[in-house]
Structure 1
Amino acid sequence: MLIHHTLRGNHMRRNILLLYLLLCCSMISAQNGKEYSIAILGDKYIHDTDSILNRLQSEIKSVVAQEAKVVFKEQYFLLNELNKEKAKQNYEKAIQANDVDLILSFGSINNFVIAQSNNFPKPVVLFGVINDDFIEFPEGQKSSKIENLTYILTPQSYQKDLSEFREMYPYKKVGIIVDQYLSEIYPVEETLGKILKDSNADFKLISLSSVDDLSSELDDVDAVYLSGGQFYSEEDQQRMINMINDRKLPSYTSMDQRFSDFGILFNSQPVNELDQFFRRIALTIEAAVMGKKLSELPIYLDFESKLLLNIETSFKIEFPLKYSFLIRTNIVGSAQNIPFQKKYYLDDVVYQLLESNLSLKASKYDVDLAKKDVKLANSEYLPNLSSSLTGSHIDPDLAKASNGSNPEFSTSGNISLEQVLFSEQASANIKIQKELEQASQENYNATEKDAILDAGITFYNALIAKANFLINDENLRVTRKNFEIAKQNYSVGQTGKSDVLRWRSELALATQNIVNAYTNYVQTIHALNQVLNNPIDFKIDIAHALVDEEAVDQFDYKGLIQLIDDPILRSKLLNFLEQVAIENAHELKSLQFNISASERSAKLYQRSKFLPTVALQGAYNHTFTRDGEGSSYPTGFTAPPDGYYNVGVQLSLPLFNKNQRNINRQKSLIQQDQLKLQKENTESIIRQNVNDIVYSILNLYTNIELSNLTTKTAKESLDLMQISYLNGAVSITSLIDAQQAYFQAQQQQASAGYNFYLSLLQMERILSYYFFLNPDEENQNFIQNLQNYLISNNQ
């Protein structure tokens, strides 16, 4: 009996439950059968109106589905085309239509027209492009207090935007662009005057009916706030932004996000804008369907804003960006598109270096001075011709007593000639100076090769700095995205607030890193400009075949790398490279010329004991005038001729010169030994450098392949971690670790690539032979000589 009673009780409860479910389904079916028609009033059609409208309608139907069947009839989607009369007609049509239950109004014109009505026979929801500045409610009022009317107001306003813009850029006179139709129906100028009254800034209202009118309006402003042009074509919107940027004027807007793509500098946009707006509209309509009073519904919609910064525009207009504000911005645009006046590849750098570098020009004078020393040495064998003119007056008594040999007044002239016929000192000096000239030339060649290497190091350092800046730019964007994910997860209760705070900290760190990276990049560009003798602030871009698909290596290094990578051929290759490096080394050539000069100097001091200096001497004297006492010879004396000459040969041989010749010869011999040791040591260093650089190249070449693979794997891991974190499957620590691993891999990849090419450049410097600067013919000869060497030493 007990079991039967229990079973019967269970059967009865099951029947009651089924009856309840049937009644609920019947009620839902009855509710779904209720049709609720909504008219939508808009200002003007724009390119994405259809997609936005479809999303809005889907959201409304989804939210209200339990209360009624919402319908949107095509004949009640009404646009006024920015015409007030048309807007009134559309509103009246919707009011009078029996099959319209609620009016949803968007846009400034519609909202202005509808707000003028005194009563609202049908529920009206006003939402759209109208700033909070133009609607005044008593302080503390949070609903419309008007029967059948509610607003959905956002915190967007001129006051908020202009205040934030002024934080970013302290403008003195801002041009505020609005549509002409808006300034005709709203007190825009009066409102702006109140807003900027206490800001110490002036403004200029630019009321536009056509983009063509804009250019002439920008002459006397130093910044632009864009609040118009929403209904222009994309071509006109782009043209408008170009006009602003061409004037290098900072700009700000809070309109559509696509204005950032067009190049507006700052753009304030709500986070998850459409989702929030659509849900709020749907909930408001749901309340109206359920019979709630619209006059009591909340009118304010708060949302979090994000500030977009177009990094390309900031570079283009040379905007003085405060790095402290980067933490508040979302960077859009490619940081790689930095404006420049000239683009440099490595060979461009080298050619301009050789032509314009001040240090090289200064070093070149050493060669010129050495050439002059050679000419000075040769001049010892040139004749020395001199002349003189003398006028004299002597005591008359003395002149009289001289019997005509020393007249009281006389004028005379003299021409003398000296010509060295042979001098061991002069001959040796000519030879020594020629050797020193060759040494000076080789020193300059070495300096030139060093300058090319130094320029290459500066160039590759700038490339690495640029790569790090771009990597940190991407890191900042990914961190910002993860921060948004964390806030989204927190809002739905999927993660705690600690994740949001941690990502905020990561965001601050990423922002500081990009500031440091950009500063470092600018400093490396300044260093490169100094090398190139450009103005320090000259805007240049640098590129390389490693990342630029349009560029190619001037020399195919792959064959050389294959030989380096071959353990059997590597030792033979090293021997060949050692020989080439020693043969080409300017330092060794310079030392050899100095050794030759020292040897000739030693011979000079040895030979000068036995070899005399032979010189030819000649002179011609002429007396022009003789007057006064003693000007005539006594009777019986024959007067000498007025002019006479003399010629002679002089031989001189210093017998003992304080032992200085012997001491100088000993010094020359010591100098020879010193130079020979330096040469031997230099050869040893060159051999070591060849071996070191070859193994360094081999190591870096291997690192390139490994870093490429590591970066690819790390990127895939980061993508998976982001998805898992979004779904709550992994912790914040795992995502941060994945992100750090990816960006560290990117930095290692960039460093490995550029350091590999830098090592190749260093190898070329050791060889004193830069492949990319030599014609293909010479490079082919180099390769052919290498192949012949490997074949001949194949035993």
Structure 2
Amino acid sequence: MKNTFILLLLIFSSFLGRSQQQEDYTIAILGDKLIPENEQILLQLKEEIKSVVGQSANIVFKDSFILLNDLNLEKAKSNYENMVQSDDVDLILSFGSVNNFVIGKNKIFSKPVILFGVINDDFITFPEGQISSNITNLTYILTPQSYKRDLLQFKEIYPFKKIGIIVDDYLTEIYPVKNTLNDIFKTIEAEYVLIPIKQANDVDGKLESLDAVYLSGGLFFNKDEQISLVNKINQKNLPSFTSINEHLSDYGVLLTSQPVNNLEQFFRRIALNIESAVNGDNLAQLPIYMDLQAKLSLNIETAFQINFPLKYSFLLRTNIVGNANQISFQKQYTLPEVFHQVLNQNLNLKAEQKNIELANQEVKLSKSEYLPDLSTSLSGTHLDPELAKVSNGSNPEYSTSGNITFEQLIFSEQASANIKIQKELKEATKETYNAKEKDAILNAGVAFYNALIAKANFLINDENLRVTRQNYEIAQQKYDAGQTGKSDVLRWKSELAMATQNIVNSYTQLNQSFNELNQILNNPIGLKIDVLNSDFKKPGDKDDFKFFNMLDDPFLRERFTHLIEEKAIENAHELKSLQHNISASKRSAMLQQRSKFLPTIGLQGQYNHTFSRDGEGATYPTGITGAPDGYYNVGVQVSLPIFQKNQRNINRQKSFIQRDQLNIQKDETIVSIKRNVNDIILSIVSQFSNIELSKVSTEAAKESLELMQISYSNGAIGITSLIDSQQAYFQAQQQQANADYNFQLSILQLERIMSYFFSLHSDEENQVFVNQVKERIVQMN
């Protein structure tokens, strides 16, 4: 045992001695320009290099050997030469287009140099098949960034006709950007406009004639400048594409193509190349290309904002970012706003209002029977001269005359009854309209909540798609590392396809629900709207609805139900309409009875005047006095029908039958109201518990999913358990959303039965209503 201990001590001392003998290896870093957001990235790179190379050398980074050229060619050249000449520098790590352009012109490298940065494939040409630099002490790390590749991918997604290509101004001075783009667009059916920029405002006035933008500039802008640049593009409703920075997707660029986990892979590749240099390997033979799997990101917020036509076929390979809840809209509605617009704009209600106007005219028409009837007529006559001659002046050959007739109904049981009947029918029409109005409010509320449910389902499916893609990437990484089989990747790919289809379906249903709401609100169908649940009604949340808590008490529930039945019957417009029709039927029956004994009395008068008499027979014979040119007559007419083919009795019996029919309908309506009240109250009672239980279920399912994801990443569970956990979580979310909105719908339906919508009344009015309900419940035995 003692010998073993001495042996271990000697081995440890040997390693310790080697560690202490490690030589310093100083690395100079050349960059184009540093912005605050990149300081943390540089720190991560240093840590990765030290971690990988620490066994071979003591890596040293000195602030004096971190040099920036600020995009100046001469300064870049000076920085490089100073580092080459410095005896304290062992390796040069170069980043950026300017540095790499300057350093790449050299033919001989006295120190190891690693070139890495934004060097576009379109600007670099190597002989076919060359995979290393073949230059002593020089290696590249080239990523698959290419204008051509990006533009072809963008063209596949969105068929632009004229695209603006935004590049940093300094690039156009050192690389053949214009010639390169000319060659690329020989194979792309579109025009392009090159837009070099030094600041975000340089794009002002240059975006008007475009239908898309490819953003390859602004890499060294700070965050605020990049956001400003992206906002200028989005304000023009232009689809945008970039591959220069993943953060631009978060800033609002529509489409972003970026390598998956690029930083970790880049850092590891740089560190391994430095390790090769430290160990004396020939950099000339290191591979220069770095193949990375790119991912396409779609900013759903921007897609909504610019009304981008989503091509569903590419969603399967697209990572959705941004807040899907930020749906762009021209008008956003709350429930009270929906109600008020329905009352003012709904076409069905406008048509129904015409029935009230017609009923008013019928009342006026019935009353007009007691208005005087005054008419006049003029006539001109030519009579056969022979006949006129022998008429002794009573019928001249030519004559013109006129008369005025006056008629006035003094009393008529038929007219009086009709006035009363038409008034009742008018009131019945008003109540029918009131019922239609309440139905329209209910239908609008249902459409509003359907839109909210569709929106919730869309957001749930959006989250499901994101989680599924995350799990798919975890499975892909585990497969690449040899920790799992191909079957996991294929299963998650299948789940990803289904999740994508679900979000497409839910987005379609969301738009359909908006179309339905637009129709009810009499909006243009294409109007972009959104719904906002600012008046969420939960048990106990609002004073107006606290009285529903009484339903939890079995002793108060019965009283509450009876009271709501009374309120519903008292306020029911359908019953009021039936009652007015019953009254009209009663008056009709009375008419048939009283018309047997009550006469119709009318006054009639007429005045006649002859204006001219000419021709044969125009004068009376001598000694005969003719009729005066003007004369009148007045008379009173009284009529009493004795027997009218038994029609009065038949019509009276019809009135009795109609009244019985209306009373039956009234009784059936009361029974229906009571049943609906009881059904809805039972539904509300069951949903009280559903809301809280679904909330608990969702929280538990979410926590379970997070734990399952960690376990799956660590290989502790299989794919089936994770899929089951994910499905359970999203089903719980949907159940919670349905529980919340179904509760609100039930409340809305109960309000309709009571003919009292809380959202259409002030808080004070609602409080009075609630207090009355509570007082009556207390008074009930």
- What interval of TM-score do these two structures reach, taking the shorter chain for normalisation? over 0.9
Task: State how far apart, in whole Å, the 1-side matches of 2:242 and 2:607 are.
Answer: 97
Task: Give the deviation of 1:288 after TM superposition.
Answer: 0.9
**Partner AA of 1:180 in structure 2:** D
Residue equivalent to 1:457: 446
Q: Would the aligned equivalents of 1:555 and 1:772 in 2 still touch at CA under 8 Å?
A: no
Residue 15 of structure 1 deviates from its aligned partner by: 8.8
Gaps of 5+ in 1: 1-10
Residue of 343, 357, 360 corresponding to 1:371: 360
Whole-angstrom distance in 1 between the partners of 2:399 and 2:550: 90
Distance 1:302 1:400 in 2: 126
Match of 2:188 among 193, 199, 224: 199
The 5 A counterparts of 1:285-364 are 285-364=274-353
Deviation digits for residues 172-199 of structure 1, max 9, x if unmatched?
Answer: 1221111111111111111112222112
Deviation by residue 1:242-273 (Cα, 9 ceiling, x = unmatched): 11111111111111222112211111111111
In structure 2, the residue matched to 1:231 is 220
SS at structure 2 position matched to 1:635? coil
Confirm whether residue 566 of structure 1 aligns to residue 553 of structure 2: yes
Q: Which amino acid aligns with 2:715?
A: G
Q: Give the corresponding residue for 2:262.
A: 273
Assess if the C-alpha contact under 8 Å between 1:343 and 1:543 holds in 2: yes
Which string of whole-angstrom CA distances, capped at 9 and with x for unpartnered residues, describes residues 85-121 of structure 1? 1111111111111111111111101100011011111
For the structure 1 residues 164 and 180, does the alpha-carbon distance in structure 2 shift closer, same or farther, using more than 3 Å as the test? same
CA distance in 2 between partners of 1:554 and 1:452 (Å): 23
Which residue of the partner structure matches residue 734 of structure 1?
Answer: 721
Aligned with 1:72: secondary structure? strand
For the residue of structure 2 that corresponds to 1:217, the secondary structure is coil
1:596 aligns with 2:577: no
Deviations 1:365-408 (A, max 9, x none): 11111111111111111111111111111111111111111111
1:552 CA drift (Å): 13
Distance 1:791 1:18, change over 3 A: closer
How far residue 455 of structure 1 moved from its aligned partner, in angstroms, is: 0.6
For residue 159 of structure 2, the aligned residue among 149, 153, 170 is 170
What is the aligned counterpart of 1:21 among 4, 11, 26?
11
Pick from 650, 653, 657 the counterpart of residue 666 of structure 1: 653
The aligned residue for residue 7 of structure 1 is none
Q: Residue in 2 aligned with 1:107? A: 96
Q: CA RMSD in A?
A: 1.9
Q: Which residue of 2 aligns with 1:222?
A: 211
Distance in 2 between residues matched to 1:266 and 1:55, nearest whole Å: 27
Distance 2:58 2:317 in 1: 43
Task: Go from structure 1 to structure 2 and tell me whether the alpha carbon gap of 1:23 and 1:706 turns closer, same or farther (over 3 Å shift).
Answer: closer
User: 1:776/1:213 Cα in 2 relative to 1: closer, same or farther (>3 Å)?
Assistant: closer
8 A Cα contact 2:116 2:140, kept in partner? yes
The alpha carbon displacement at 1:664 in A equals 1.2
Counterpart for residue 645 of structure 1: 632
SS of the residue corresponding to residue 420 of structure 1 reads strand
The residue aligned with 1:701 is 688
1:435 Cα deviation (Å)?
0.9
CA change 1:38–1:788 in 2 (3 A) is: closer
> Which whole-Å deviations, capped at 9, do the CAs of 1:697-742 have from their partners, x for residues lacking one?
1111221111111111111111111122122222211111111111
User: 2:735 is aligned with what amino acid?
Assistant: Q
Does the CA contact (< 8 Å) of 1:555 and 1:771 recur in 2? Answer: no
2:494 is the counterpart of 1:505: yes
Q: How far apart, in 2, do the equivalents of 1:546 and 1:730 lie?
A: 43
Kindly indicate whether the alpha-carbon contact (under 8 Å) linking 1:28 and 1:66 is maintained by their aligned counterparts in 2. Answer: no
TM-score, reference length from structure 1: 0.96
- The match for 2:749 is 762
Identity of aligned residues (%): 62
Q: C-alpha distance in 1, partners of 2:237/2:756? A: 46
Which string of whole-angstrom CA distances, capped at 9 and with x for unpartnered residues, describes residues 160-182 of structure 1?
A: 11111111111112211111111
Contact 1:545/1:553 (8 A) holds in 2: no
Which amino acid in structure 2 is aligned with residue 653 of structure 1? L
What is the aligned length?
781
Q: Residue 113 of structure 1: SS of its match in structure 2?
A: helix
**Deviation of 1:229 (Å):** 0.9
Residue aligned with 2:59, SS: strand
Kindly provide the CA deviation profile for residues 330-381 of structure 1, in whole angstroms up to 9, marking residues without a partner as x.
Answer: 1111011111111111110010101011110001111111111111111111
Query: Tell me, what secondary structure is at the counterpart of 1:74?
Result: strand
Amino acid at match of 1:635: T
Distance 2:236 2:73 in 1: 35
Is this contact kept in 2: 1:623–1:642, CA < 8 A? yes
Q: Which residue of 1 aligns with 2:79?
A: 90
2:163–2:192 contact (8 Å) kept in structure 1: yes
Provide the C-alpha distance between the structure 1 equivalents of 2:768 and 2:88, rounded to a whole number of angstroms.
91
Query: Is structure 2 residue 779 aligned with structure 1 residue 789?
Result: no
2:536 & 2:24 partners in 1: Cα distance? 61
Residues in 1 aligned to 2:520 and 2:563: alpha-carbon distance in whole angstroms: 33
Tell me the TM-score normalized by structure 2.
0.97
Amino acid corresponding to residue 717 of structure 1 in structure 2: S
* Deviation of the 1:748 alpha carbon: 0.8
Query: Once the 2 structures are TM-superposed, how far is the Cα of residue 219 of structure 1 from its aligned partner?
Result: 2.5
Match of 1:711 among 687, 692, 698: 698
Residue 144 of structure 1 corresponds to which residue in structure 2? 133
Where does residue 22 of structure 2 map in the other structure? 33
Matches within 5 A, 1:481-500: 481-500=470-489
Deviation digits for residues 296-342 of structure 1, max 9, x if unmatched? 11111111111111111111111111011111111111011111111
Q: Pick closer, same or farther for the CA change 1:68–1:788 going to 2, 3 Å.
A: closer
For residues 621 and 715 of structure 1, the distance between their equivalents in structure 2, rounded to whole angstroms, comes to 98
Measured at CA, do residues 137 and 765 of structure 1 come closer, stay the same or move farther in structure 2, by a change above 3 Å? same
SS in 1 for 2:607: strand
Match of 2:373 in 1: 384
